[in-house]
């Protein structure tokens, strides 16, 4: 039997991971820790509702680490999964916030965990942005080329963890997923925002014509990759987890328009692109397939259909939600 703590537990990818874990018979406890009060059903999907194995705690990992470790010592988790990060691409303003959360808080948490004998594994959720823009699928050994303060902060955390493993044998792994999406995702991300705009008859602002290409995986595929790493991966290893082929942002919006039955020309309008955005992210995920038999199972068309169904189900709720990112500590 295993127990898990998920930091950044209010985010939708942690929500999908919690759901996946609760489906496993040998998981006895899942505790999600987030900085905000619990969200509405549209963004929690009611995961864990009525399940005595599930618990949500509102704790800020930067400013309330005393409370965090009171919880840890009470629950004594076998596995800690760290989703918690400031993760918006426009990180040039107040970049120090990204370092506070993505580097300093992680270092403090890991140092404290090294003193706890109950921890069996720490899994850091990394990012494909460390590799920069590439014209071919890149493996974990590819030279790292972060191009934003956000990416630099995530690189620093990865290097810190690699050092902890090499010198202190801290039982860690890192996963660097491609761009993930799924029902419940915040509305400043491209797919949920496109779904909302399509369902409410608004023109979708397609930045730069949607020429940027990124690899997208469904949150459930990400959750399965995380579970397999937590169960079977050798300590100290880093794994990419991404789709076989990247897709343009325009293609994503075209799929949403098609699913909603709206001509693309009536749905999208071209707006200026984001300054400094990488042209393409593309991961070679052969290592996680070789070691853990993981590869994505949900294709993009099926995933977009899942997003549209979520939008229709929760439209009254998501219409009240913010569609722009707000930077908070």
For 141-176, what is each residue's pLDDT tens digit? 999 999 899 999 999 999 999 999 999 999 999 999
193 in helix, strand or coil? helix
Chain segment 81-118, per-residue pLDDT in tens: 999 999 876 788 899 999 999 999 999 999 999 999 99
Residue-number span of the structural domain to which 85 is assigned? 2-180+217-241
Mean pLDDT of 300-322: 96
Give the full edge-to-edge strand order of the sheet including 121-125: 54-58, 27-34, 2-7, 79-82, 121-125, 172-177, 238-241
- Which pLDDT does position 259 carry in this prediction? 97
DSSP output for 199-261: HTTPPEEEEGGG--EE-EEEHHHHHHHHHHHHHHPPTT-EEEE--SS-EEHHHHHHHHHHHHT
User: Quick one: pLDDT at residue 314?
Assistant: 98
DSSP 89: S
On whether residue 65 sits in a domain, the answer given is: yes
Residue 275 confidence (pLDDT): 62
Least confident of 68-72, 123-127, 243-247, 291-295: 243-247
**What per-residue confidence (pLDDT) applies to 278?**
73
Pairing state between β 172-177 and 121-125: parallel
Q: In terms of C-beta distances under 8 Å and separation of at least 24 residues, what long-range contacts does 197-200 make, across chains too? A: 197/267, 198/256, 198/257, 198/260, 198/262, 198/267, 198/308, 198/311, 199/260, 199/308, 199/311, 199/312, 199/315, 200/315, 200/319
321 belongs to a structural domain = no
Q: What is the CATH number of the domain that holds 83?
A: 3.40.50.720
User: What would the pLDDT profile of 244-285 be if each residue is shown by its tens digit?
Assistant: 999 999 999 999 999 999 999 999 998 886 666 678 899 999
Task: Report the C-alpha gap between 187 and 323 in whole angstroms.
Answer: 5
Residue 135, domain member (yes or no): yes
Structural domains in the chain (count): 1
Q: Higher-confidence residue: 156 or 134?
A: 156
Which pTM was predicted?
0.95
Q: How far apart are CA 269 and CA 56, in angstroms?
A: 40
Q: What's the confidence (pLDDT) of residue 274?
A: 67
């Amino acid at each position: 039997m295993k127990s898990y703590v998920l930091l950044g537990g209010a985010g939708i990818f942690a929500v999908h991971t919690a759901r996946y874990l609760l489906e496993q018979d040998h998981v006895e406890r899942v505790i999600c820790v987030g900085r905000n009060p619990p969200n509405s059903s549209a963004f929690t999907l009611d995961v864990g509702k009525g399940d005595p194995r599930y618990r949500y705690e509102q704790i800020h990992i930067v400013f309330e680490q005393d409370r965090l470790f009171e919880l840890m010592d009470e629950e004594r988790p076998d596995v800690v999964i760290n989703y918690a990060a400031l993760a918006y691409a426009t990180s040039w303003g107040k970049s120090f916030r990204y370092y506070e959360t993505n580097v300093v808080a992680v270092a403090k948490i890991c140092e404290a965990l090294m003193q706890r004998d109950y921890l069996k594994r720490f899994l850091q959720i990394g990012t494909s942005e460390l590799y920069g823009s590439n014209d071919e699928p890149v493996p974990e050994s590819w030279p790292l080329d972060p191009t934003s303060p956000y990416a630099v902060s995530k690189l620093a955390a990865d290097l810190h963890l690699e050092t902890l493993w090499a010198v202190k044998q801290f039982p860690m792994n890192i996963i660097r997923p491609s761009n993930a999406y799924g029902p419940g995702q915040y509305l400043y991300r491209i797919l949920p925002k496109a779904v909302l705009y399509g369902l409410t008859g608004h023109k979708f602002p397609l930045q730069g014509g949607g020429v940027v290409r990124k690899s997208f995986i469904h949150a459930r595929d990400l959750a399965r990759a995380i579970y397999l790493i937590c169960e079977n991966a050798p300590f100290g290893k880093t794994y990419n987890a991404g789709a076989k082929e990247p897709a343009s942002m325009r293609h994503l919006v075209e799929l949403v328009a098609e699913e909603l039955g709206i001509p693309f020309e009536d749905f999208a309008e071209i707006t200026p692109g984001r300054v400094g955005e990488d042209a393409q992210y593309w991961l070679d995920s052969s290592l996680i397939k070789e070691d853990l038999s993981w590869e994505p199972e949900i294709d993009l068309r099926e995933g977009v259909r899942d997003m549209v169904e979520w939008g229709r189900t929760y439209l009254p709720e998501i219409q009240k939600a913010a569609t722009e990112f707000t930077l908070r500590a």
